[in-house]
């Protein structure tokens, strides 16, 4: 297959809040295959301070009517993903959609059918596949040092006792609550490793005073060969535990959540700055193995350098050269069937 490395893809963002400013604009601007052309800012116009050549439209319709834009990033509130994805596809745009892709698998399938009808691509922004700490987990699994995997725990905890101001996260509307906020991150990591589970069991909780939505969830996923995976998240954890705990016949691996790209970008650090994506010393994972004589060996496992640029490279290759995108439609349907159950 011949490849196209010279194509420039004009891109637009539907919002320039935290996600647009931190997770999308820096990477689209840095990748030579994209032209970050426009954003939507209904009220305060802040984007041009960061990117002077950017067009700041006052409405989504204006951006979708820009005939030059080929890729639209759907980074609006969760409950609007379906509506805005549908409008973008109908406008002839390819789309990159933040998690959760939609509220239901039925909505997802409707969008897949529409994309096929109009000949456009739907791509999924599941950036946590490219976190540095998750890269360490994959490295340990690939090494075979754990032996047959028995169980794996993934946690994503915070402490936020107050009810937040974001309606789409705190009101009892579709795709709200902690399950739809952080569940897609954890489930996608699991699905990327093991695929669709044989079965699953989900528990939700409401612990903050006056909360209208879940602020705790735990899901057990069962896989072949007696592999059990547990994903857990809570908004009321004062002392966060390890984010990744893996136990196999021959060893265990424990890793804190350490990917620092978000923190660095929020502080103004650029992708090209020295030290970007490198975790702090002392954050290494601990691999403990045991031999057939019962002798234990401890080994520290540093993370890879974190970068979401490979995600955007995958987006570019999918659009410019028809390369299969690493997050599949089946992955997303599997995720949504668990979330909506």
The pLDDT of residue 106 is: 98
- Average pLDDT of the residues of the chain: 95
Lowest pLDDT segment from 7-11, 40-44, 214-218, 233-237: 40-44
**pLDDT over threshold 80, residue 111:** yes
The pLDDT of residue 279 is: 85
The pLDDT of residue 261 is: 87
Q: Are residues 172 and 52 in the same domain?
A: no
Q: Are residues 263 and 280 in the same domain?
A: yes
The pLDDT of residue 103 is: 97
Q: Are residues 146 and 78 in the same domain?
A: no
Q: Are residues 188 and 60 in the same domain?
A: no
Q: Are residues 27 and 16 in the same domain?
A: yes
The answer to whether 170 and 158 are in contact (CB under 8 A) is no
Alpha carbons 289 and 143: distance in angstroms, whole number: 12
Segment 214-218 mean pLDDT: 97
**pLDDT over threshold 70, residue 298:** yes
**pLDDT over threshold 80, residue 3:** no
Q: Is the dihedral of CA 276, 282, 285, 289 positive or negative?
A: positive
More confident site: 263 or 53: 53
Q: Would you say residue 211 lies in a domain?
A: yes
Segment 89-105 mean pLDDT: 98
Residue 16 sits in which domain range?
9-126+310-326
Q: Would you say residue 1 lies in a domain?
A: no
Q: Which pairs from 276-284 meet CB under 8 Å and 24+ separation?
A: 276/305, 276/307, 277/132, 277/305, 277/306, 277/307, 278/132, 278/305, 278/306, 279/132, 279/133, 279/303, 279/306, 283/256, 283/258
Q: Are residues 55 and 149 in the same domain?
A: no
Q: Are residues 146 and 19 in the same domain?
A: no
**pLDDT over threshold 60, residue 1:** no
The tens digit of pLDDT for each residue in 33-68 reads: 999 999 999 988 999 999 999 999 999 999 999 999
What total number of domains does the chain contain? 2
**pLDDT over threshold 80, residue 4:** no
Q: How would you class 290 by CB atoms within 10 Å of its CB: exposed for 0-12, middle for 13-18, buried for 19 or more?
A: middle
Segment 75-98 mean pLDDT: 98
Q: For residue 2, name the pLDDT band (cuts at 50, 70, 90).
A: low
Q: Are residues 221 and 109 in the same domain?
A: no
Alpha-carbon separation of residue 10 from 32, 37, 43, 126 (angstroms): 11, 6, 23, 21
Q: Would you say residue 320 lies in a domain?
A: yes
Segment 166-170 mean pLDDT: 85
């Amino acid at each position: 297959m011949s490849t196209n490395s010279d194509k420039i893809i004009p891109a637009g963002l539907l919002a320039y809040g935290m996600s647009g400013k931190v997770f999308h604009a820096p990477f689209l601007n840095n990748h030579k295959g994209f032209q970050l052309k426009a954003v939507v800012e209904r009220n305060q116009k802040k984007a041009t301070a960061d990117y002077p050549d950017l067009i700041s439209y006052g409405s989504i319709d204006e951006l979708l009517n820009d005939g030059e834009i080929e890729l639209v990033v759907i980074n609006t509130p969760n409950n609007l993903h379906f509506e805005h994805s549908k409008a973008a596809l109908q406008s002839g745009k390819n789309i990159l959609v933040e998690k959760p892709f939609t509220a239901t698998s039925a909505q997802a399938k409707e969008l897949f059918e529409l994309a096929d009808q109009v000949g456009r691509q739907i791509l999924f922004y599941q950036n946590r596949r490219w976190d540095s700490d998750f890269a360490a987990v994959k490295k340990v699994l690939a090494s075979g040092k754990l032996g047959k995997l028995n169980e794996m725990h993934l946690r994503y905890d915070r402490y936020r006792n107050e009810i937040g101001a974001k309606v789409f996260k705190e009101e009892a509307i579709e795709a709200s609550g902690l399950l739809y906020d952080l569940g897609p991150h954890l489930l996608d990591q699991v699905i990327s490793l093991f695929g669709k589970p044989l079965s699953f069991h989900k528990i939700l909780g409401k612990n903050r005073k006056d909360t209208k939505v879940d602020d705790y969830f735990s899901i057990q996923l069962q896989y072949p060969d007696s592999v059990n995976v547990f994903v857990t998240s809570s908004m009321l954890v004062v002392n966060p535990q390890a984010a990744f705990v893996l136990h196999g016949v021959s060893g265990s691996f424990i890793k804190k959540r350490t990917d620092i790209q978000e923190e660095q970008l929020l502080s103004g650090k650029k992708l090209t700055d020295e030290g970007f994506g490198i975790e702090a010393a002392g954050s290494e994972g601990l691999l403990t193995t045991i031999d057939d004589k019962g002798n234990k060996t401890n080994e520290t496992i540093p993370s890879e350098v974190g970068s979401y640029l490979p995600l955007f490279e995958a987006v570019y290759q999918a659009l410019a050269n028809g390369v299969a995108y690493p997050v599949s439609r089946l992955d997303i349907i599997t995720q949504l069937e668990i979330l909506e159950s």
